[in-house]
Amino acid sequence: MSSPLSLGAVSAVLRNLLDNGLVDTAPALGTVKVTAVAPDTIAVDEPDAPPSLNLFLYRVTPNQGWRNTDLPAYDGDGARRTNPPLALDLHYLLTAYGSADFQAEIMLGYAMYLLHERPVLDRAAIRRALDPNPLGPSILPPAFQALTAADLADQAEAITVTPEPLDTEELARLWSAMQAHYRPTAGYVVSVVLIQATKPSRPALPVLTRGPVDRSTGRDRGVVVEPSLLPPFPTLERVGIPHARQAARLGDTITLFGHHLAGASATAHFGHRLLDEPNEVAVGTVTDPHTIEVPLPSGADAERDWPAGLWTVTVSVVPPGAAESRRSTAVALPLAPRPSLPPVSVARDAATGAVTVVLDVRPRVRPAQSARLALGGTEAEADEHRDPLAPLTFRLPGLTAGPKWARLTVDGVESLLVDRSAAPPVFDPGQAVDVPS
């Protein structure tokens, strides 16, 4: 396969082909300058400008034949398994510039004839065009010397040069976009250039058996077909929280809904951004393939190890007939904080009128977590808290006296002010704070 230098290498090979071909087949034209630059950089108003041909790469498109042959793949350890090539088609404009009558037409005719006679860029021609040794490396510009490392001649598929008809509307758009004076032009497409990474890869070993092998017959189990549109793997779809609350609390029993959840040794894994390893809750044997009930822990240890905020839940289970456990997809679980009311203290500053609330929270709020307290319509951020065992301090300016509903938000998850176990729902009377005057 080729390297990323291949685009420049193709242009260099085509320019070399035209340059040498005009010298051999059309000596009567004299010296013809062959370039590969943008048309707007060519001076066309100079009276003594020599005749020239210009090859301009104006578009690059994916090759449809090679585009979907492979995709980048990695194994379970993150090691690269494949290096799929980047397959490209290169679209060129071949333009002739001449100041005398019929000069441009004659040069364009010879150039098109040369490309017609060489519809395939063979490997020997590519190597000759890119090899600087005959001329000496000091004669060639550094950019051209680098193209020898393109490995263009070693790619798997040959490079073809094919005319690409361009109608007057497309030509008008191209030359208007380039803001250059139109000259006799022909379009060509060069296909295919294969650019491939040289990163080390580790291909997968061949498959010898499909499933367990029967020792008596020596035959493998074969492909297991399941008549369902659902993937045959443990999958979680959502979390059910008691009384349809928006967040769970420690001590709740949550319900995980999904499919293919039945099996032995089921374990729920709870991940949090502040934990290096997820917390695990053993469930045991599950008979219902669609639901798993998981009790959340409670008590002092849980308040220390289960911070409030957003959690991700997965389940590992050994399916029936399988020997190893499988891990499910993940779903989100918001775990709400619970303010201990009444607060430790509520005091108003006589000078400023601001109210300071010292509040204990369960689960414990860690130093890396954000906490906000809203009393009525007034909200404030917690002061810096470095000790997770210490209560939080909030300073709320402009707070009027009287009972206020309290809402505590930790890492984006709000405490449960509404009691949804009642019908209709009501505010939890235990979630109010009496603000002194």
- One fold for both 235-335 and 338-435? yes
Sheet with 338-348, edge to edge strand ranges: 338-348, 355-362, 392-396
Class at the top of the CATH hierarchy for domain 235-335? mainly beta
Q: Which residue has the higher pLDDT, 275 or 197?
A: 275
- Residues 377-417 pLDDT 10s: 899 999 999 999 999 999 999 899 999 999 999 999 999 99
Helices and strands (H and E) in the chain: how many: 6, 24
Looking at residue 70, its pLDDT comes to: 73
* Confidence band for 53, pLDDT divided at 50, 70 and 90: very high
| DSSP letter assigned to residue 367 | T
Tell which residue, 224, 201, 258, has the closest CA to residue 78: 201
Tell me how crowded residue 428 is: count the other CB atoms within 10 A of its CB. Answer: 18
* Confidence band for 122, pLDDT divided at 50, 70 and 90: confident
- Residues 61-107 pLDDT 10s: 999 888 777 776 777 777 777 778 889 999 999 999 988 888 899 99
Looking at residue 426, its pLDDT comes to: 93
pLDDT at residue 136 is higher than 70 = no
Lowest-confidence range among 127-131, 178-182, 378-382, 405-409?
Answer: 127-131
Report the alpha-carbon distance of residue 30 to residue 402 in Å, rounded: 101
Lowest-confidence range among 131-145, 260-274, 290-304, 331-345?
Answer: 131-145
Q: Token pair for residue 55?
A: 């090859």
Q: If you average pLDDT over residues 132-144, what whole number do you get?
A: 53
- Find out whether 274 and 260 touch, Cβ atoms under 8 Å: no
Mean residue pLDDT across the chain: 88
- Find out whether 99 and 136 touch, Cβ atoms under 8 Å: no
Contacts of 34 (CB under 8 A, 6+ apart): 15, 18, 19, 22, 52, 53, 54, 55
Looking at residue 1, its pLDDT comes to: 61
Tell me how crowded residue 325 is: count the other CB atoms within 10 A of its CB. Answer: 16
Looking at residue 145, its pLDDT comes to: 62
Q: Is the peptide bond before 27 cis (omega within 30 degrees of 0)?
A: no
- Find out whether 162 and 191 touch, Cβ atoms under 8 Å: yes
Report the alpha-carbon distance of residue 290 to residue 331 in Å, rounded: 15
**Distance from the first to the final alpha carbon of the chain:** 80
Q: Token pair for residue 291?
A: 């639901």
Q: Token pair for residue 356?
A: 């300071």
Tell which residue, 67, 93, 278, 101, has the closest CA to residue 192: 67
pLDDT at residue 36 is higher than 80 = yes
Q: Token pair for residue 44?
A: 């066309």
Phi, psi of 372 (to 5 degrees): -130, 140
Q: If you average pLDDT over residues 164-173, what whole number do you get?
A: 92
Q: How far is CA 232 from CA 139, 262, 268, 324, 388, in A?
A: 65, 12, 19, 15, 43
- Find out whether 308 and 273 touch, Cβ atoms under 8 Å: no
User: What percent of the chain stands above pLDDT 90?
Assistant: 60
CA atoms within 13 A of residue 48's CA, in its CB half-sphere: 0
Cα angle value 301/261/315 (rounded, 5°): 35
Phi, psi of 41 (to 5 degrees): -95, -5
Looking at residue 137, its pLDDT comes to: 46
Report the alpha-carbon distance of residue 222 to residue 179 in Å, rounded: 64
* Residue that the structure tokens 């210490």 belong to: 390
Looking at residue 132, its pLDDT comes to: 63
Q: If you average pLDDT over residues 255-279, what whole number do you get?
A: 96
Q: Which residue has the higher pLDDT, 335 or 85?
A: 335
Looking at residue 295, its pLDDT comes to: 96
Tell which residue, 10, 13, 11, 55, has the closest CA to residue 32: 55
Written in H, E and C, the secondary structure of 239-262 is EECHHHCCCECCCCEEEEEEECCC
* Confidence band for 138, pLDDT divided at 50, 70 and 90: very low
Residue ranges covered by each domain of the chain: 6-195, 235-335, 338-435
* Residue that the structure tokens 């308040």 belong to: 303
Phi, psi of 132 (to 5 degrees): -85, 0
Phi, psi of 185 (to 5 degrees): -140, 145
Helix, strand and coil in the chain, % to nearest 5: 20, 35, 45
Report the alpha-carbon distance of residue 287 to residue 266 in Å, rounded: 10
pLDDT at residue 55 is higher than 70 = yes
Counting beta carbons within 10 angstroms of the beta carbon of residue 222, is it exposed (0 to 12), middle (13 to 18) or buried (19 or more)? exposed
The fold adopted by the segment(s) 338-435 is Immunoglobulin-like (2.60.40)
Q: Token pair for residue 210?
A: 């499909």
Phi, psi of 177 (to 5 degrees): -65, -35
Q: If you average pLDDT over residues 139-164, what whole number do you get?
A: 75
Which is it for strands 309-318 and 263-271: parallel, antiparallel or unpaired? antiparallel
Looking at residue 27, its pLDDT comes to: 76
- Find out whether 362 and 335 touch, Cβ atoms under 8 Å: no
